[in-house]
Amino acid sequence: MTSLELVKKIAGLLDSKKAQEITAFEIRDLTTLGDYFVIASGSSNTQVRALSDAVEEGLSKEGIEPRRIEGYQTAAWIVLDYSEVIVHIFHEPAREFYGLERLWSDAPKIPLDE
């Protein structure tokens, strides 16, 4: 699976659990962190955990495991690191506060509506 296919798979998993404002950015030309960021929001800490679980379980079924997961305990901002694709799942107020879209505004946005 290419990293772009992984982005779309993750977006689909997030959408299936009613994630809000799912966006993806290509960051490969701006940093060595990875190729893409996927950013989504949940309306509560419980939903943020459920979104994280959906991504992790859905990809695990395909043999894809995250290198690292951060923030699961507090569930204000959970980061799942899949090497080329880094998934950021925010509780809405934390997303507004940190403004990743603003910080990475130079990165091309990836269309996910296919």
Domains observed in the chain: 3-103 (3.30.460.10)
Distance of CA 114 to the CA centre of its chain: 17
In this structure, the chain runs to a length of 114
Structural tokens at position 85: 């694709």
Structural tokens at position 86: 């880094």
Q: What is the pLDDT of residues 10-38, one digit of tens each?
A: 999 999 999 999 999 999 999 888 999 99
Q: What is the pLDDT of residues 47-88, one digit of tens each?
A: 999 999 999 999 999 999 999 999 999 999 999 999 999 999
| Integer Cα distance of 92 and 52 in angstroms | 15
Considering Cα of 32, then 28, then 49, then 23, what sign does the dihedral take? positive
Q: Give this prediction's pTM.
A: 0.94
